[in-house]
Structure 1
Amino acid sequence: MMLLGVDNLTVRIGGRAIIDNVTLSVGHGELVGLIGPNGAGKTTLLKACLGLARASGDVNLADRPLAAMTPLERARAVAYLPQDHEIAWAVAVRHIVGLGRQPWREASVFGDYAGGHVIARAMECMGVDALADRRADTLSGGERARVLIARALAQAAPLLVADEPVAGLDPAHQIALMEVFGSLLHDGRSVVCSLHDLGLAARWCTRLVMLSEGRVVADGPPSAVLTPENLRRVYGVEAFFGHAGGGPVVMPTGLSKK
């Protein structure tokens, strides 16, 4: 079963194709990094995959047409973490994270008996358990980001879609988050996340999808996608490629010569 299937997806805004005839699929146990320069269409593609942007083509979640699913069914199939990390509510952090359990509370007449444990585990994973009683609107930017990631984890959907989840996090929390994402794969869950940090993408993702001008230009393991030729053609940069600490290292070093 495919957790996400996209066929000939196109998004047009003002007569221009922001996403142009994209086809891809995500199975169980994948950590898929969506990469590409600014304006490549990453955010629009993620939104279109969730029905949050008007598009033509076919989208399936858990082998079911997205258009035929109710909001509750969608919420049980996929958790979404948008770029915006704002929290306007003057409520405790534990209540923000607890919102991730709403699809399961509504789906069962017996209540969400596992919810308390799932919420506590999600907060622990993101290192925000000590903030449980803090007002969410008093947090720093990095703290807000981690709280919202914890909320998405508490949703416990088979697929997690995250738009630039490491933005605003310091290096230690970036690495910790990628470790958390990697741990989800052991349960057959999958993550699709847009990333600008090519080093994190190379080291942690099991697969990369590279976008340029709304089209998929490369799709495969990091070693096959993050090549000198692709980085010059798509990003216009040169990069250092190495190996350290048991994994690959990719670091942009300068602009490519025209």
Structure 2
Amino acid sequence: MTGLPRRLFGLFAFLLAMIALAPPATAAGPTCNGKFVNPITDVCWSCLFPLSVGALKIWPSSRPDPSNPASPICACADPLPRIGISVGFWEPARLADVTMKPWCFPNLGGIRIAPGFDIGQGYLTGPSMVGGRSQSTAKWHVHWYVYPLLYWMEILTDFACFEQASFDIAYMTEVDPLWQDDSLAALINPEAIVFANPIAQAACAGDCIAGTVHLPLDPLFWCAGCQGSMYPLNGNIPSSIGHVQSSRLA
């Protein structure tokens, strides 16, 4: 072997040696942990109930349920005019995860899908004295998935009203500049100023009581039951209870 073939062989051997001796690559950024959702064991199947036809409870449940139409016969015009039966139940159609690590997707097995630019890290702080009051604050990132589980598993396949879609990531807070800043979020949600007062916040106590007894009160839409205020509509949580409250917008 002489000339050009020898040089090519030497170069190929050198590249193989570099690959073999190179240290294992590590993903940039913090470690991301998680697992894929098991549709059998990780889904609250009993939460689908109560099942009703009109006002008649076919499969009762101890869980609260909003008011259903009194008549079992209904009509709709989307996509075509048709008459059907009014059936009420809870359909699992969306999935959310919250994380303090940007670009970390716990529900996708704990993978990081980072485009290469940095986004502020989330945080969770314990009680601290702010103005003489104890206050916990937090900031999380939220991912919102399209997850029509009943349609995928072909349960109750005759229902034309099921959401028929494939798995998708519908929203990521990392790419939303409004999620990072209260002032920017107020540009599209100026009503936050109306609810940033002691009277509006005190009204959430009534929403907490109603949510504990049965269901929260729809007129108090700025409240999230016992989890506090819904505003500001971004990732800043002024009175953190935990990751459940942090995903309240998802």
TM exceeds 0.5?
A: no
Which is richer in strand?
1
TM-score by length of 2: 0.24
Larger Rg: 2
Higher relative CO (CA 8 A, sep ≥ 6), structure 1 or 2? 1
